[in-house]
Chains A and B, each alone.
Chain A
Amino acid sequence: MFDWLQSFADWLIYQVIGIAAESQLGVALNFFVYDVLKILILLFIITVLMGIVNAYFPIERLRDFLNKRKLYGLEYFFASLFGAITPFCSCSSVPLFIGFVQGGIPLGVTFAFLITSPLVNEIALAIFLGMFGIKFTLIYAITGILLGMFGGMVLGKLKLERYLSDWVQQLIQNKNKLQEDFETENTPFLQRLPYITQEAWGIVRSIVLYVVIGIAIGAFMYGYVPENFFERYLGDGQWWTVPLAVILAVPLYANAAGIIPVIQVMVVKGIPVGTAIAFMMATIGLSIPEGTLLKKVMSIKLIAIFFGTVTAFIILSGFIFNIIFTTL
């Protein structure tokens, strides 16, 4: 699909600028040009697609769906899936959280949504697709959704309501007064499209810098770090790399746009895939700033339980990936 871009990058770097294809600088620059362009194109396409999905399934409607239907245990799956398709903004996670529990959605189901929402988002998916290809992207997305689902189930079983802030508990008590007020927009699709593309363009523009920096670091490593460099220290058989990577990653608050290109190169240079994916999930899915935001609605203890459960599941997925990919 992107052959033409590769030809363009080859032409630009090797012929126009005239750097030898064999040189480290040439390899690095070629990688940079090709990847930046490819990622930006994919980002734009995927944010437009997500924008279209969201235009038809606004968050209010999703909440309504979770609330009104009898789903026989599948509500965890749906909440997690909805978390994946709604755009994530860390500043919206608190209103969402309260809006869900206030609307009568069980805490565990709300957590399922909250886990998947940052983990599987349009930006992470687009960059994942660009760097790792379709197979890995699907594996990543499906794992993310399952992780949210199981994480939510476990947290739901623990009966954690009493660890919510007092005012949130009161909100849950008077949940009945919620009215359904989401407007069903009847604007025809073609009239909405310009707005959706405009919005997508805005998202792409806002993260361009992170993409460029991430890919620049990745490109540098691609050209200059020797093959199998990481394998010597962190390669297969070193089971402890997974928990170590996750524990290092939780406090990191990196933009998915910046971190994925770097990780991809590390995989090329010998980091096991499961370790890499676990690292990414921990960086994207859990962060200190998110924790501080959540402090307004829940006790530190609940945040710790929430983060701990998600961390445990991420480590587990890392192990599973490493087993799957070494046997494949």
Chain B
Amino acid sequence: MKTIKILGTGCAKCKQTETIIKEVIAKEGIEANVIKVEDIQDIMAYNILSTPAVVVDEVVKIKGKVPSAQEIMAALS
């Protein structure tokens, strides 16, 4: 089971990212634990410069944009 973290301070783009990730994993039947990280100190531990960012099993896969469904699939595979 994968752990997907969505890093973002609660802006609109971060919420979009969360929605689309939940849609993708529901549709593809992927078992994953989706966690939203909103605390700035925790976010900065991943050394990113722009949010939203998506972290899969502690590796930053996507940053600074709302990913498309294909990008999420690629990040999860």
Interface residues, chain A, with chain B CB atoms under 8 Å away? 58-60, 63, 89-92, 94-96, 98-100, 102, 167, 171, 178-179, 181, 195, 198-199, 202, 206, 293, 296-297
Q: Are A99 and B9 in contact (CB-based, < 8 A)?
A: no
- Spell out B's residues near A (CB within 8 Å): 8-14, 40-41, 43-44, 47-52, 64-66, 68
A181 touches B8 (CB 8 A): no
Given A95-B50, A96-B49, 17 more A-B residue pairs with CB atoms under 8 Å apart are A91-B9, A91-B11, A91-B12, A91-B13, A92-B11, A92-B49, A94-B9, A95-B43, A95-B51, A96-B50, A99-B47, A99-B48, A99-B49, A178-B47, A195-B68, A198-B68, A293-B9
- B11 near A89 (CB under 8 angstroms)? yes
Residues of B within 8 A of A102 (CB): 44, 47
- Can you list 15 A-B contacts (CB < 8 A)? A58-B64, A59-B49, A60-B49, A89-B51, A90-B11, A91-B8, A91-B10, A91-B12, A95-B50, A96-B50, A100-B49, A102-B44, A179-B47, A181-B47, A296-B40
Contact between chains at B66 and A59 (CB < 8 Å): no
B11 contacts which chain A residues (CB < 8 A)?
Answer: 89-92
Closest to B60 in A: A181
Cβ–Cβ < 8 Å partners of A63 in chain B = 49
Nearest B residue to A102, CB-CB: B44
Nearest B-chain residue to A178, judged by Cβ = B47
How many whole Å from A323's CB to the nearest CB in chain B?
A: 39
A297–B10 CB distance below 8 A: no
User: Within the assembled complex, what's the spacing in Å between the Cα atoms of A98 and B44?
Assistant: 8
Find the B residue at minimum CB distance from A63.
Answer: B49
CA distance A89 to B35 in the complex (A): 22
Assess the B44–A95 pair: CB atoms within 8 A. Answer: yes
B residues in contact with A60, CB < 8 Å: 49
Shortest distance from the beta carbon of B40 to any chain A beta carbon, whole Å? 5
Q: In whole angstroms, what is the CA distance A90 to B14 when docked?
A: 12
Complex: chain A residue closest to B70, CB-CB: A195
